Structure 1
Amino acid sequence: MTDIVQLSVRSLVEYVFRSGSIESGFRSASSLTDGTKAHQKVQKQYGELDRKEVYLSTEIAYRDLLFVIDGRCDGLLAGTADTVAGSQGLTIDEIKSTAGDLASIDEQSYPVHWAQAKCYAYMIAKEQELGSIGVQLTYVQIASEEQKRFAAELSFQDLELFMLELLQGYYPFAEQKRRHSGLRDASIKALQFPFPVYRAGQRKLAGSVYQSIADGRKLFAKAPTGIGKTISTIFPAVKAIGEGLLQRMMYLTAKTITRTAAEEAYVMLEARGLHMHVVTLTAKDKVCFQEEMNCTREHCPYADGYYDRVNEAMIDMLSQETLLTRSTIERYARKHTVCPFEFSLDAAYAADAVICDYNYVFDPRVQLKRLMEEHKRSTVLLIDEAHNLVDRAREMYSSELKKSDFLAIQREYKGSNSELQRAAKAVNDFFIAVRKEVGDSGVEVKPELPGQLLELLEIFVEHAQSELLAAGGREAGQLLDLYYAAQGFIRIGKLYDERYVTYVESVRNEVQIKLFCLDPSYLLKQNGKGFRSHILFSATLSPLSYYIDMLGGDAETDYSVVVPSPFSSEQLEVYMEPLSTRYRDRGHTRESIAVLIGKLTAKRTGNYLIFFPSYAYMNDIYELFTTQFTSTTMIQGAGMTENEREAFLAAFDADNPESLIAFAVMGGMFSEGIDLVGDRLTGVVVVGVGLPQVGLERNIIKDYFDGQGKDGFEYAYVFPGMNKVLQAGGRLIRSEQDRGTLLLIDDRYFQPRYQRLLPQEWKTADGGAPMIPEQYGNRDDSGRESFTRQE
């Protein structure tokens, strides 16, 4: 039986014909292959018999493979009286747009464009049994709408020969992919769950994931920390690939440390026989080989000639490796002298599984653009620590600009580019008018899009683009950054609806205007459309109704599962202390809190994590604690490097001769995704209920949801805050062997609003006795408040 290879015209011609170097750092808003408006303007000029956006498909056998190739041509133009005999006057029109000068484009500038047009011409000629057919390239200048055309008449024999040469170039990659698919499918069929038995709840979670994929539904899964959520979601998705339900899986994370957990799960499965290509995407600035990141052929040998070498590099890596981690990609990138970041992106389109940040799917600025709809339909999204996606999405779908940036460009280009200088001045003048309206230290919130500002930005972008094209993007860092910021603002402006507000902050000479997304649920749903299934999972999707609402779910049609904790109550001692940690009370209770931490950590030698809602509060208690106690301590620093983070975690040694007390912040790098199993962690203290700091944006969110008939205070403050508490406390019990003590310090833990958000295992123990103090204000000999546990 001949194996079938399905691919698009664009994928085929880009693989074979792309060549040359990675472009410079500046890329205009409208590339040569992305100009919808320009396409539409050309198509409006078509005659009555001409057709646009024509879907075409063909089958071609080459060697031992059957290629099924499809695509959509821009135009199929009807014939005229003076056309070549045998062509019936039909012409394929391929439209390309550019922000550059049309004079710089000649007939042979872009062979890939001719290749695309020839593919469509072959399909039509074959379908209609034509002896020849016309082929036309139409280039459109975005700003001027000027057009430039190149045309040719090609025989069917020439087109057929061209297609065979095209497939000859693609065949090595297709053959490698076929061999791999055979090995992958056979390995999945034989693959067993990588542990002798499922933990309690694991089978339920894995079964729910598989069923959701089979049914093509979203699943919201709340499963406790330590249950093994990563393997319980990856394993059934792998099995779904083996059953033909999927072709690809994407494991989306918010933090590097959870990315590592996913990599380790695939390593575990590979050790048990799995053969899959799994690629990890790492941020560009982290993998760049150069001291200064400058993506031009003049400055970077890995960018120079990248497309001439990447196909060979890809086949080499995919033939030899399966787990394409950062180190593996870097090794092959150096071997073949290709950019490691672009190489990883190209590998992602060829891989069976991708581990990456949320933004590669949900952020319109950086999402994987070549992930076509047909690929999405056979892809599942595994969204780890999904509670993080709410605030991350707000960031993705918001945009802000500052007055000072436009003033700087206005001054820089005075005398050298008068049009750009005037455009920047017009935007700066708009900011000045806004400052006069709100005052030097004022705030204004409006539910309307600033239409005048967007019009001025369109003009600024046009002139900035011309300047950047002339300069090649070099020596223009400040302008380049502002160009992209203005483009981002315009892009977000097109998404603006009733879920947005515009707010202005004026402080002295600076004015900031922000398009602020209050409810990202609709945009998350839109950007996630087309994928077969979404699996959103976390230990802290509580309350579940809130996260279904905020993450674009539908309570009526989407699936949900709540997995109970697999751990026994004897593993965890929970204490609560009713001391106020509210900002106004911190001066009165900080000494008592420091003493509580000292007393808890003195009870048993071990390693302790103490979590605070802010750096300032943490530093304050840390200073008090270290003056009263001689324990070994560590403290989380702002902006820690990867090496500093690893050193911090390495200090949690089960064999430490003395207690280690580490101070950290809730919601930071040490409160999620870390596994300190066994005796590496003895106790956790959570100071406060994690509420975000009261501020403008949080209050805007509160007011918005109040207006929607919901509890705005809970949506803006309580739910995000308690999520941090649950994550921090969840560091403690990670396996059946773990034992530990959890101390929660805040009087609000005794209020129903907060109590109902605590896990059941934090509320009861020892046969169901509630964990509450015997009495408020129980004092030790020093007069300080102590904590006790009601038996």
Structure 2
Amino acid sequence: MWMLNSCVLEAKKFGDPKLSGGKVSVSKFCKMLIEIISVLRDTYVYGILENGIRTNAYVKNDAFIPSHELESEIMSRLKITSKTLHDIVSDLAAYGEKIQEYQQKEGKLPRSYLHKLGAFLEFWIHVEMDQYIKLVVDSSGGKNPRIEAYCLDPSIGIGIINEFHSSIHMSGTLEPLEEYRDSLGLSKETELVFYPSPFSKENRKIFFVKDVTTRYDEIARDKKIVPRMWQHITDICNTFPKNIMVCFPSFNTLSLFQNKGSFDDIKRCLYVEEQSMSQSDLMDLVTSFKSCGLENGSGAALFSVMGGRISEGMDFPAEQLEIAVIVGIPYPKPTARQRGLQKYYDFKFGKGWEYTVNAPAARKLLQSIGRLIRDENDRGVAVILDKRAPRFSQR
């Protein structure tokens, strides 16, 4: 929606030309799209019917929409044919190109929101629905709903790899290798090789706690699970004079404890990653965590999220990090997008759960635990606060 508002401003700045034989201006067309997307969000995400009755008893952030719902609504409102709609989309792209040319002549970046809109609508209308799903997504607290065509098959974008004479793919967290091979559309004859870690197993210990879980239905039934989990976190942070990173499954879970005022229980330097942090602020946070813990001799605590910028992209050698606490198993949220992905992998490989739920969770666990050991001299302990942890023991 914010992008469409930018389209409205751009259209008015550059003359606001007419579309569809003069029936509607570019700005009015964009405002109409804003209204349609809001209606799609209200209908499919919120479950609000025409009489204002809400049918959804639970909160969700996205929903499937019929493949031609957007086009049908546009044609109905403007009383146009599909051919005229295609002409409108082409005109938007053409107007955008002229704006790009003008911007470049003025010494500015050749950027046009209208050109992006035209390209998106062209793609949306012609996308192959056997490999994509169409969604309406409620984001930014309902202030910026959007529609998206989500690609279910990553092999579409990297098919060129199969034209290479050979390629080598390597990382410490590619397992399960069969899932990686199949998702990328690599040949079944691709050689899959696993090399053991060169680091001593004695340098890393992994424990798990049996009396807690982040499984939603169990937390809903047993109100003692969340307080018990927080007690484990505070006990570890306040007992061991080491630098400790606590990795939560999501920012929502992290906020759950923060909003309760629980952070006051941590009796040491505490640093908390925030979702909206700039990269420079994040780097300052990590630097402060490392230095505070080493300088005061009692260690510091860093609260982060699995799959985030810290847990997957930063090194903490030697005493900079010695204990990692993993709060729950980072299974993906059961969104419409996730359900569509799982259904597609079930259809294509017969392994929807294994490839789209279990494998991503295992990778996030490995990435977070991997912050502990970065060279052969590092030593560290990981504690997984979830009784489901043993199912990942072979990884």
In 2, Cα distance between equivalents of 1:506 and 1:618: 21
What amino acid sits opposite 1:441 in the alignment? Answer: T
* Residues 655 and 573 of structure 1: CA distance in aligned 2, closer, same or farther (over 3 Å): farther
Q: Residue 284 of structure 2 corresponds to which residue in structure 1? A: 647
For normalisation by structure 1, the TM-score amounts to 0.40
Q: Residue 480 of structure 1 corresponds to which residue in structure 2? A: 112
Structure 1 contact 684–743 (Cα < 8 Å) conserved: yes
For normalisation by structure 2, the TM-score amounts to 0.74
1:724 to 346, 351, 364: 364
Q: Residue 636 of structure 1 corresponds to which residue in structure 2? A: 273
Using the TM superposition, give the Cα deviation of residue 568 of structure 1 relative to its aligned residue in structure 2, in angstroms: 2.7
In the TM superposition, 1:685-724 aligns within 5 A as 685-708=325-348, 710-724=350-364
**What SS does the corresponding residue of 2:276 show, helix, strand or coil?**
coil
Structure 1 contact 403–512 (Cα < 8 Å) conserved: no
* Residues 569 and 588 of structure 1: CA distance in aligned 2, closer, same or farther (over 3 Å): same
Q: Residue 441 of structure 1 corresponds to which residue in structure 2? A: 43
1:523 to 146, 151, 157: 157
Using the TM superposition, give the Cα deviation of residue 755 of structure 1 relative to its aligned residue in structure 2, in angstroms: 2.6
**What SS does the corresponding residue of 1:741 show, helix, strand or coil?**
strand
Q: Residue 422 of structure 1 corresponds to which residue in structure 2? A: 25
In 1, Cα distance between equivalents of 2:320 and 2:15: 64
* Residues 598 and 694 of structure 1: CA distance in aligned 2, closer, same or farther (over 3 Å): same
Q: Residue 188 of structure 1 corresponds to which residue in structure 2? A: none
Deviations 1:415-442 (A, max 9, x none): 7533596355456657766877x58432
1:534 aligns with 2:136: no
Structure 1 contact 605–659 (Cα < 8 Å) conserved: yes
Using the TM superposition, give the Cα deviation of residue 614 of structure 1 relative to its aligned residue in structure 2, in angstroms: 1.4
**What SS does the corresponding residue of 2:193 show, helix, strand or coil?**
strand
**Higher fraction of strand:** 1
Q: Residue 549 of structure 1 corresponds to which residue in structure 2? A: 182
In 1, Cα distance between equivalents of 2:90 and 2:275: 38
* Residues 458 and 689 of structure 1: CA distance in aligned 2, closer, same or farther (over 3 Å): same
Using the TM superposition, give the Cα deviation of residue 506 of structure 1 relative to its aligned residue in structure 2, in angstroms: 8.2
* Residues 403 and 677 of structure 1: CA distance in aligned 2, closer, same or farther (over 3 Å): closer
In 2, Cα distance between equivalents of 1:618 and 1:717: 21
Structure 1 contact 733–739 (Cα < 8 Å) conserved: yes
Q: Once structures 1 and 2 are overlaid, which stretch shifts more, 448-457 or 651-660? A: 448-457
* Residues 416 and 618 of structure 1: CA distance in aligned 2, closer, same or farther (over 3 Å): closer
In the TM superposition, 1:147-166 aligns within 5 A as none
What amino acid sits opposite 1:542 in the alignment? Answer: E
Structure 1 contact 678–737 (Cα < 8 Å) conserved: yes
In 1, Cα distance between equivalents of 2:16 and 2:108: 13
Using the TM superposition, give the Cα deviation of residue 538 of structure 1 relative to its aligned residue in structure 2, in angstroms: 1.7
1:570 to 196, 202, 217: 202
Using the TM superposition, give the Cα deviation of residue 725 of structure 1 relative to its aligned residue in structure 2, in angstroms: 1.2
Structure 1 contact 692–721 (Cα < 8 Å) conserved: yes
Q: Residue 490 of structure 1 corresponds to which residue in structure 2? A: 122
Superposed structure 1 runs of 4+ greater than 6 Å apart? 433-436, 448-451, 475-479, 492-495, 506-511
Using the TM superposition, give the Cα deviation of residue 659 of structure 1 relative to its aligned residue in structure 2, in angstroms: 2.0
What amino acid sits opposite 1:567 in the alignment? Answer: F
In 2, Cα distance between equivalents of 1:439 and 1:690: 27
* Residues 523 and 430 of structure 1: CA distance in aligned 2, closer, same or farther (over 3 Å): same
What amino acid sits opposite 1:422 in the alignment? Answer: S
In the TM superposition, 1:621-632 aligns within 5 A as 621-622=257-258, 625-632=262-269
Structure 2 contact 162–186 (Cα < 8 Å) conserved: no
* Residues 726 and 433 of structure 1: CA distance in aligned 2, closer, same or farther (over 3 Å): closer
Q: Residue 664 of structure 1 corresponds to which residue in structure 2? A: 304
What amino acid sits opposite 2:118 in the alignment? Answer: A
Deviations 1:557-580 (A, max 9, x none): x22210112233321222111212
Q: Once structures 1 and 2 are overlaid, which stretch shifts more, 729-738 or 691-700? A: 691-700
Using the TM superposition, give the Cα deviation of residue 662 of structure 1 relative to its aligned residue in structure 2, in angstroms: 1.0
Q: Residue 617 of structure 1 corresponds to which residue in structure 2? A: 253
In 2, Cα distance between equivalents of 1:434 and 1:601: 46
What amino acid sits opposite 1:710 in the alignment? Answer: G
- Percent of pairs with identical residues: 22
Q: Once structures 1 and 2 are overlaid, which stretch shifts more, 562-571 or 488-497? A: 488-497
Deviations 1:217-261 (A, max 9, x none): xxxxxxxxxxxxxxxxxxxxxxxxxxxxxxxxxxxxxxxxxxxxx
**Higher fraction of helix:** 2
Q: Residue 248 of structure 1 corresponds to which residue in structure 2? A: none
1:678 aligns with 2:318: yes
What amino acid sits opposite 1:619 in the alignment? Answer: S
Deviations 1:606-655 (A, max 9, x none): 11110001123223335655333412211112233344333333332445
**What SS does the corresponding residue of 2:205 show, helix, strand or coil?**
strand
Q: Once structures 1 and 2 are overlaid, which stretch shifts more, 607-616 or 440-449? A: 440-449
* Residues 478 and 694 of structure 1: CA distance in aligned 2, closer, same or farther (over 3 Å): farther
In 1, Cα distance between equivalents of 2:381 and 2:103: 62
* Residues 490 and 535 of structure 1: CA distance in aligned 2, closer, same or farther (over 3 Å): farther
In 1, Cα distance between equivalents of 2:168 and 2:120: 29
**What SS does the corresponding residue of 1:600 show, helix, strand or coil?**
helix
In 1, Cα distance between equivalents of 2:113 and 2:15: 21
Q: Residue 79 of structure 2 corresponds to which residue in structure 1? A: none
What amino acid sits opposite 2:179 in the alignment? Answer: Y
In 2, Cα distance between equivalents of 1:432 and 1:423: 14
What amino acid sits opposite 2:43 in the alignment? Answer: S
Using the TM superposition, give the Cα deviation of residue 524 of structure 1 relative to its aligned residue in structure 2, in angstroms: 1.1
**Where in structure 1 are there 5+ consecutive unaligned residues?**
1-399, 760-791
**What SS does the corresponding residue of 2:271 show, helix, strand or coil?**
strand
Structure 2 contact 41–145 (Cα < 8 Å) conserved: no
Q: Residue 600 of structure 1 corresponds to which residue in structure 2? A: 236
Using the TM superposition, give the Cα deviation of residue 409 of structure 1 relative to its aligned residue in structure 2, in angstroms: 5.6
Structure 2 contact 131–151 (Cα < 8 Å) conserved: yes
* Residues 407 and 545 of structure 1: CA distance in aligned 2, closer, same or farther (over 3 Å): same
Q: Residue 210 of structure 1 corresponds to which residue in structure 2? A: none
Structure 2 contact 103–111 (Cα < 8 Å) conserved: no
Structure 1 contact 706–712 (Cα < 8 Å) conserved: yes
**What SS does the corresponding residue of 2:313 show, helix, strand or coil?**
coil
In 1, Cα distance between equivalents of 2:145 and 2:43: 9
**Where in structure 2 are there 5+ consecutive unaligned residues?**
45-62, 72-81
In the TM superposition, 1:739-778 aligns within 5 A as 739-750=379-390, 754-755=391-392, 758-759=394-395
Using the TM superposition, give the Cα deviation of residue 724 of structure 1 relative to its aligned residue in structure 2, in angstroms: 1.0
In 1, Cα distance between equivalents of 2:308 and 2:37: 36
In the TM superposition, 1:368-387 aligns within 5 A as none
* Residues 643 and 405 of structure 1: CA distance in aligned 2, closer, same or farther (over 3 Å): closer
In 1, Cα distance between equivalents of 2:37 and 2:268: 54
Q: Residue 146 of structure 1 corresponds to which residue in structure 2? A: none
In 2, Cα distance between equivalents of 1:629 and 1:725: 24
* Residues 661 and 506 of structure 1: CA distance in aligned 2, closer, same or farther (over 3 Å): closer
In 2, Cα distance between equivalents of 1:741 and 1:509: 42
What amino acid sits opposite 2:377 in the alignment? Answer: Q
What amino acid sits opposite 1:525 in the alignment? Answer: G
Deviations 1:428-462 (A, max 9, x none): 657766877x5843244345797746553112212
Structure 1 contact 688–744 (Cα < 8 Å) conserved: yes
Deviations 1:31-88 (A, max 9, x none): xxxxxxxxxxxxxxxxxxxxxxxxxxxxxxxxxxxxxxxxxxxxxxxxxxxxxxxxxx
**What SS does the corresponding residue of 1:562 show, helix, strand or coil?**
coil
Using the TM superposition, give the Cα deviation of residue 694 of structure 1 relative to its aligned residue in structure 2, in angstroms: 2.7
In 1, Cα distance between equivalents of 2:15 and 2:156: 46
Structure label with greater radius of gyration: 1
In 1, Cα distance between equivalents of 2:100 and 2:370: 50
* Residues 684 and 457 of structure 1: CA distance in aligned 2, closer, same or farther (over 3 Å): same
* Residues 671 and 661 of structure 1: CA distance in aligned 2, closer, same or farther (over 3 Å): same
Q: Cα RMSD between the aligned structures?
A: 3.7
Deviations 1:664-697 (A, max 9, x none): 1111111123222222211101111112223222
In 2, Cα distance between equivalents of 1:649 and 1:405: 35
**What SS does the corresponding residue of 1:535 show, helix, strand or coil?**
coil
In 2, Cα distance between equivalents of 1:468 and 1:696: 36
In the TM superposition, 1:290-301 aligns within 5 A as none
